[in-house]
Amino acid sequence: MELVSKKTLVLGAGKSGIASARFLARKGAIVALHDRKPIAEWSDAATALKEEGVGLIDGDIPSWLLDQIELVVISPGVPTKTIPARYVDRKDGEVIGEIELAFRFMKGRIVGITGSNGKTTTTTLVGEILRRDGLETFVAGNIGTPLIDIAEQTTENSWTVVETSSFQLETIKYFRPNIAICLNVTPNHMDRYDFFSDYAASKHRLFMNQTSDDLAVLSADNETTASWGGGLLAHVTRFSVKNELEEGLFLRGMDLVSRAGNSERVLMTRDDIRVKGIHNVENVLAASAAALACGVEPETIREAVREFRGVEHRLEFVREVAGVSFFNDSKATSVDAAVKAVDSFEGEAGKTVLILGGKGKNAPYAPLIAPMERSVRSVVVIGDDAQRIKEELSAHIGIIEATSMADAVNKAFGLAESGDRVLLAPACASYDMFETFEHRGRVFKEEVSRLG
């Protein structure tokens, strides 16, 4: 991809946009970075790009500038329907995302991972398994490190494990993972997509450039992903925690089993998995399928899983105070993720005080009713969607409101009894009260640390 003197517009001055603008400028492109927010509100990292020759634009983009643009690199948080992207696309300019830009400068092989829930945990685990096997491994994408930052570090012998969101997949063109995993597809981001089918279609794009030389790993338990296998060019491997499969990876009793043809082998048992919840068994099965395809031996996979303690802000144990345990699952930004978090404490009825709320995604909260009735003592709500949550759930459980995270932690602690747990699993995005879900999780942990 020739970038010297190419007139380029980067939309979105967040982490992805900053990384893209920096890369393009260093490759000799003429770059402008745009965000709707006033430049005075941009991060220091974004405004510092001016010293590297990047133009900074806020507010509306003048049409005379759009007329000159040959390439638009769009950040995940910027809708592809935005006028600058549509304008350039219609005049035969190219509109791509940071993932696609990075792919054009990468070497080696790629494991691409998507799903409504479990992406970061599975991406991290695949990376740890491959590194344990001695493979040259990079981990990037939606997990936090922009893929463009490591693109030119990759080699012919390297594996790059890439977490991909639906937003990122909207703007790929040639991006092709050798191994592509979709963990699940459940309603999410319905504030961005008109229909669930639109959201599912964006996830499906992960497989669109695969060939018969590649592998697609799909959940057999998820209605959407279970329907995809027949239409893919790649070889398909499935995984399940509900049923034994004729071929694939599945849970049988306590054993995680891999079956191919007439042979099968036990990879590990549930006791080898330290992270809680049946959803994490699914993540381990998917990661194991990818690792086996990379040539990793089962014993190495088992050793890596035994040492894996999970990821920050994903069912993270914080501390115990007066017999009450606190868990931070700030990454549970969808209703389905919150359901999985609550159900992780199976067989412990009425022992959870749940903190819910934030910036809603226009998805119903009704799926929380059954798991709450199984294991939740009471609920504390915060944020923009607090009233909606109360309207939809208060007939089924006691709910009280809190005005801040500090207030929520203190009220939840007051509702809990010795032997209970307080679980932050918001089922909502964070940006009504916090910068990111990580920021929300950190504040939760800080407030827990202040409890006597």
pLDDT tens, residue by residue, 57-73 = 999 999 899 999 999 99
pLDDT tops 80 at residue 350: no
Average the pLDDT over 428-439 and give the result.
94
- Report pLDDT digits (tens) over 93-111: 999 999 999 999 999 999 9
pLDDT attached to residue 81: 85
CATH number 3.20.20.140 given to 106-307: no
Return the pLDDT at 177.
Answer: 98
- What are the structural domain ranges in the chain? 7-97, 106-307, 316-449
Question: How large is the average pLDDT for residues 336-355?
Answer: 87
pLDDT(50) > 70: yes
Predicted pLDDT of residue 111: 98
- Which tens digit of pLDDT belongs to each residue from 76-90? 989 888 888 888 888
CB 240, CB 221: distance < 8 Å: yes
| Per-chain mean pLDDT for the chain | 95
How many Cβ atoms sit within 10 Å of the Cβ of residue 100?
22
Cα atoms in the Cβ-side hemisphere of radius 13 Å centred on 433: 27
Identical fold at 7-97 and 106-307?
no
Residue written as tokens 């941009």?
42
Question: What per-residue confidence (pLDDT) applies to 89?
Answer: 82
Q: Judging by DSSP bridges, how do beta strands 109-114 and 137-141 pair with one another?
A: unpaired
Q: What confidence score (pLDDT) does residue 188 get?
A: 80
Tell me the β-bridge partners of 400: 380
Residues near 259 by beta carbon (within 8 Å), at least 6 away in sequence? 244, 245, 246, 247, 248, 249, 250
What percent of the chain clears pLDDT 70, i.e. is strictly above it? Answer: 99
Mean pLDDT across 397-418 = 97
Interstrand relation of 352-357 and 376-382 (parallel, antiparallel or unpaired): parallel
**pLDDT value at residue 347:** 62
Q: What is the pLDDT of residue 349?
A: 65
pLDDT of residue 442: 97
The pLDDT-based confidence of 391 (bands split at 50, 70, 90) is: very high
pLDDT at 348: 63
pLDDT at 90: 83
Domain 316-449, architecture per CATH: Alpha-Beta Complex (3.90)
SS (H, E, C) the chain: CCCCCCEEEEECCCHHHHHHHHHHHHCCCEEEEEECCCHHHCCHHHHHHHHHCCEEEECCCCHHHHCCCCEEEECCCCCCCCHHHHHHHHCCCEEEEHHHHHHCCCCCEEEEEECCCCHHHHHHHHHHHHHHCCCCEEEEECCCCCHHHHHHHCCCCCEEEEECCHHHHCCCCCCCCCEEEECCCCCCCCCCCCCHHHHHHHHHHHHCCCCCCCEEEEECCCHHHHCCHHHCCCEEEEEECCCCCCCEEEEECCEEEEEECCEEEEEEEHHHCCCCCHHHHHHHHHHHHHHHHCCCCHHHHHHHHHHCCCCCCCCEEEEEECCEEEEECCCCCCHHHHHHHHHCCCCCCCCEEEEEECECCCCCCHHHHHHHHHHEEEEEEECCCHHHHHHHHCCCCCEEECCCHHHHHHHHHHHCCCCCEEEECCCCECCCCCCCHHHHHHHHHHHHHCCC
- d(CA 145, CA 150) in angstroms, rounded, equals 8
Q: Do the strands 248-252 and 255-260 form a parallel or antiparallel pair, or are they unpaired?
A: antiparallel
Determine the Cα angle at 294 with ends 288 and 300, to 5°: 55
Residue 261 pLDDT: 85
CATH number of 7-97: 3.40.50.720
Banded pLDDT at 91 (limits 50, 70, 90)? confident
